[in-house]
Amino acid sequence: MDDTRSSATMVAAVSRIGTTVDGKYKLRSLLGVGGMGIVYEAEHLYLGRNVALKIIHPKYADTHDAVARFLNEARAAGTIGHRAIVQVLDAGFVDGTTPYLVMEKLEGETLAERITRRGGLRVAQAAMVLRELMRGLGAAHAKDIVHCDLKPPNVLLVGRKIDVGAVKILDFGISRISKQPQSKPGDVVMGTPLYMSPEQVKGAAVTASTDLFAAGVVTFEALTGRPPFDGGGGKVEVFVRILRDPPPPIVGAREQVPADLAALVMSLLAKAPEDRPTSAGDVVRTLDAMGIVPGVGPGIATDVKR
């Protein structure tokens, strides 16, 4: 988006502050403008509860596929009901045409912001993030929902410590039903290139294992400060590396990464879905057996600070 269009979008976004959506949500302030939506802090006028209200970006309001994706986020996240999934409370249409969704209002920073600020996480922190991601994704997979776009910007860290309940998965906009075909010939492959699995790149069916691969990429980046298949080139080069190259060794972490954790990450990054762990629950059990996740396992400190 050029500067003129960006400025116009911001002016339009700010102009909504003070208005009431659907007769019950008073928009109090602007929280942010993203690729698909504009997020406000709002107050439910009847309950007095502060929430985050997301309205589809004006440039997508008349686009059928974008509206469907936006509403898909509300349906998918709203049906899972797990502490590691951002809670969707309501959805509807502004003026009967422009979709919005209402989420719990959370304070924190994304994993991407944390990695940028700190250069990566400590081992125990990264292990806790992976465990919480697996708990949330496991709940989604139990309902046959595959996220398909897990990445550090879609992981919110809430509160002062990275511990149980501090990790929230965001944006189920391109989530799919497990084993549903990813695309048809000529379709655009959906996802973020650096975090896509080989089967996504090929346009094959997605399964729960697709999310496990992305979780491996996220954990690799959380430990090292960089994703494993970033060659510095364009999307095509990234796709080639995902399909062809083995993941590089985990080096450059803030502290020594235990061999069993490194091996788990490498298993998540296996090219073939059948070579990855069998389920999100399997990853949780493997992590717990290592005894490196805060508060889980023998002799492990429960206080992992930011």
Residues labelled as active-site residues: 149
Distance, CA of 57 to CA of 61 (rounded, Å)? 6
Amino acid type, 179: K
The token pair at 28 is: 């109090």
How many residues are there in the chain? 306
Burial (CB < 10 A; 0-12, 13-18, 19+), residue 4, is exposed
Q: Which two tokens stand for residue 38?
A: 């504009």
- Contact in structure between 224 and 231 (CB atoms under 8 Å): no
Distance, CA of 291 to CA of 298 (rounded, Å): 6
Q: How far apart are CA 94 and CA 23, in angstroms?
A: 9
CA distances (Å), origin 94, targets 23, 35, 105, 133:
9, 19, 20, 32
